[in-house]
Amino acid sequence: MVERGRLLAGLLMRYAEILEVYREKIDRLNVYPVPDGDTGTNMFFTLRSATEVLESRGLGSGENRGTIADFMDAGKAALLGARGNSGVILSQVIGSLCKVFGEEPGEEADLGTLAAALTRADERARAAVLNPVEGTILTVITEVSERAQELVGQGWKLAAAAPSLLEAAEASLSRTPELLAQLRKAGVVDSGGAGFVLMVAALCEVTGAEGFTDCPRREFAFEAVVPESASRVETVSAGPEDGIGPRYEVMFLLDSDDTMVAAFREVWAGLGDSIVVVGQDGTYNCHIHTDDIGASIEAGIEAGQPSRIRVTDLYDQVAEERWVLAAGGAGAPDPYAPESSEPVQTAVVVIANGDGIARIFRSLGVHRIVMGGQSMNPSTEEILAAIEDVPAPGVIVLPNNTNVTPVAQVAASLSPKEVAVIPTSGVVEGMSALMEYDPMNDVSSNLRVMRASAKRVVVAEVTQAVRDYRSEIGEVAAGDFIGLGSAGVVAIAKTAAEAAIASIGALVSEETEIITLIEGEGATPASSREVTEWLTFQHPDLEVEVLHGAQPLYPYLIGIE
């Protein structure tokens, strides 16, 4: 007899090992050819939140069957550690398994128990999503759950049934492009569903199903459609011979006479790229990608007094993770701009990445910034901690990313405070919402005007394609710059500036009054001038604002309102 507690602990531990092996491939099952797929990573860190609890209780080896409290704590940890939409759904699956198996951890684990857990997981996962969409992980969970119920009715044993459940999972996953047009156009299957297939594969292993002894060596069907591309991990770690750009990131604070900064910028322009020099009143935050560390620092010495010098080897780190780690982790305060602790009626928590964007949000009255973004989604716990920490009985959360919104909503539901989430899809929408924010008004009053303000903004994002892609407006080749709007690809170009110009041209209307251009890594003074000069010539009546965001992976974020 296999006890429920031992089986569940073994399943989650083995699933974590398999998912870690495959998470990068799952990340690449992105609908759009952007360098920031994150489904596998989100699912892995969500799962690890649960397995770390099991390990701390001595359940990692399978020698201990555990207690009800152990599994309830593991399920709660998954919920608090959930990252992204896929992580929220997976947390409901893990929580359901922990609830059903963990209530009687010493009882025999059988197919009926598993079927009950999967049925609960199916119901809770769908309830956790505001608008459930077929052709996603939800469909795969449902069809595996239904297959488990069928096999229970036919009298199957758990070990014998596990391979049939895996077959059902892979068949369901292969059908996801038939149900979701975006997947069909991109030529991929649902990434979350692929992650769930690996859980069923882990089940085959831990139940001792015949032919399943080492899943990482097994060829899964979804691997055939994983795009071959230079992903962000592969690109950064490749090495100098691959021609991916300067090797080092140099950052420091510069105390300088303002008149010296222009000359300093010109020197740096000849030393590297991704240059950001932002500040005022004699203090500047400076950032450059370069192969010449010494010359970059010497230029700062000639211009003034550098301090807090930090050098990072870009071939050893992923771009966006670097920003989060440099900030001390998700939710960490900006070391150069303290957050407000003045008591208010309604406080605001935002999710953002990039030093410049964080500073902009602080200037707009934000109380807490949870550092994170498209490829470094914060967890439920990190957002919840920020909500609890702000000095206000009411809180509004601006996730600034559609993948972060479900996590923010879970965090809001767990807080005893009055919390509302405005589902902003980007930082420009978040900034627009804050234009109507009044800290002394209650949540409902702020929610009404902030939501309306956010909706007035049309957003676009410029990034570089990591693989070939057939879009609605034409063929995208790996290395092209693309503009992404709410409806998909709106521009294809050879440079970031051209993509920004084409994106604005596609989305601007007669009602447009303001264009906001937020510069990120990869934007240069010359490319920004190209965009602003085009705007001056083509749309002289528009107000144009250029901000330094320093966000990774996206040279330009654009707001049109």
Q: CATH code at 505? A: 3.30.1180
Instruction: Supply the pLDDT for residue 282.
Output: 77
Both tokens assigned to 291: 């192969």
What mean pLDDT comes out for the span 354-364?
A: 84
Rama region for 39: left / alpha / beta (φ>0; ψ in -120 to 50; rest): alpha
Instruction: Supply the pLDDT for residue 76.
Output: 93
Instruction: Supply the pLDDT for residue 279.
Output: 58
The answer to whether residue 81 sits within a structural domain is: yes
**Are 385 and 516 in a shared domain?**
no
Instruction: Supply the pLDDT for residue 58.
Output: 87
Both tokens assigned to 420: 């509302």
Q: Burial of 495 by CB count in 10 Å (0-12 exposed, 13-18 middle, 19+ buried)?
A: middle
Given a cut of 90, whether residue 239 has pLDDT beyond it is no
Please report the sign of the dihedral spanned by the C-alpha atoms of residue 98, residue 101, residue 105, residue 111: negative
Q: How far is 31 from 472, CA to CA, in rounded Å? A: 13
**Are 113 and 163 in a shared domain?**
yes
Given a cut of 80, whether residue 60 has pLDDT beyond it is no
What mean pLDDT comes out for the span 402-426?
A: 93
Alpha helices in 28-67 (DSSP H): 39-56
What amino acid occupies position 298? Answer: E
| Cα-based distances in Å from 55 to 49, 74, 104 | 10, 10, 19
The answer to whether residue 325 sits within a structural domain is: no
Given a cut of 50, whether residue 331 has pLDDT beyond it is no
Instruction: Supply the pLDDT for residue 450.
Output: 95
Q: In which residue are the tokens 């080896």 written? A: 61
Given a cut of 70, whether residue 62 has pLDDT beyond it is no
- CB burial readout 40-53, b (16+ within 10 A) else e: bbbbbbbbbbbbeb
Instruction: Supply the pLDDT for residue 338.
Output: 44
Instruction: Supply the pLDDT for residue 84.
Output: 87
Both tokens assigned to 81: 């550690």
Q: Are 523 and 336 in contact (CB under 8 A)?
A: no
pTM recorded for the entire structure: 0.75
**Are 130 and 248 in a shared domain?**
no
- Across 410-486, the runs of DSSP E, i.e. the strands, are 418-421, 458-464, 469-471, 474-476, 481-485
The domain that holds 203 is classified in CATH as 1.25.40.340
Q: How far is 447 from 425, CA to CA, in rounded Å? A: 16
Q: How far is 175 from 370, CA to CA, in rounded Å? A: 37
Domain endpoint, select from 434, 455, 476: 455
- Of the listed ranges 269-283, 367-381, 445-459, 488-502, the least confidently predicted one is 269-283
The answer to whether residue 134 sits within a structural domain is: yes
The answer to whether residue 507 sits within a structural domain is: yes
**Phi, psi of 5, deg, nearest 5:** -60, -45
Q: Burial of 239 by CB count in 10 Å (0-12 exposed, 13-18 middle, 19+ buried)?
A: exposed
**Are 157 and 30 in a shared domain?**
yes
Instruction: Supply the pLDDT for residue 217.
Output: 54
**Are 287 and 430 in a shared domain?**
no
Q: Are 557 and 426 in contact (CB under 8 A)?
A: yes
**Are 98 and 205 in a shared domain?**
yes
Both tokens assigned to 455: 């909706």
529 or 236, greater pLDDT: 529
Given a cut of 80, whether residue 344 has pLDDT beyond it is yes
188 contact partners, CB below 8 Å, separation of at least 6: 29, 30, 31, 177, 225, 226, 227
The 3-state DSSP class for residue 554 equals coil
Which residue range is the domain that position 494 belongs to?
458-560
The 8-class DSSP code of residue 443 comes to H
| Gap between the terminal Cα atoms of the chain | 65
**Are 211 and 269 in a shared domain?**
no
**CA-derived radius of gyration, the chain:** 25
**Are 223 and 295 in a shared domain?**
no
**Are 20 and 106 in a shared domain?**
yes
The answer to whether residue 462 sits within a structural domain is: yes
Given a cut of 50, whether residue 330 has pLDDT beyond it is no
- Of the listed ranges 135-144, 403-412, 461-470, the least confidently predicted one is 461-470
Instruction: Supply the pLDDT for residue 187.
Output: 87
Domain endpoint, select from 167, 198, 231: 231
Instruction: Supply the pLDDT for residue 276.
Output: 65
What mean pLDDT comes out for the span 169-191?
A: 91
What mean pLDDT comes out for the span 512-519?
A: 91
Instruction: Supply the pLDDT for residue 147.
Output: 97
Given a cut of 90, whether residue 54 has pLDDT beyond it is yes
| Cα-based distances in Å from 335 to 307, 404, 493 | 13, 24, 37
Instruction: Supply the pLDDT for residue 399.
Output: 94
Q: Are 113 and 77 in contact (CB under 8 A)?
A: no
Domain endpoint, select from 455, 478, 495: 455
The 3-state DSSP class for residue 142 equals helix
In the chain, count H helices and then E strands. Answer: 20, 16
Q: How far is 379 from 36, CA to CA, in rounded Å? A: 17
Given a cut of 90, whether residue 131 has pLDDT beyond it is no
Number of domain units in the chain: 4
**Are 60 and 188 in a shared domain?**
yes
What mean pLDDT comes out for the span 404-433?
A: 93
Given a cut of 60, whether residue 329 has pLDDT beyond it is no
Query: To the nearest whole percent, how much of the chain has pLDDT over 70?
Result: 87
Quick one: pLDDT band at residue 322, thresholds 50, 70, 90? very low
Quick one: pLDDT band at residue 323, thresholds 50, 70, 90? very low
**Phi, psi of 521, deg, nearest 5:** -60, 130
Encode pLDDT of 269-284 as tens digits. Answer: 888 766 666 655 677 7
Instruction: Supply the pLDDT for residue 315.
Output: 52
**Are 387 and 519 in a shared domain?**
no
The answer to whether residue 25 sits within a structural domain is: yes
Encode pLDDT of 13-27 as tens digits. Answer: 999 999 998 988 998
150 contact partners, CB below 8 Å, separation of at least 6: none
Instruction: Supply the pLDDT for residue 316.
Output: 45
Given a cut of 60, whether residue 230 has pLDDT beyond it is no
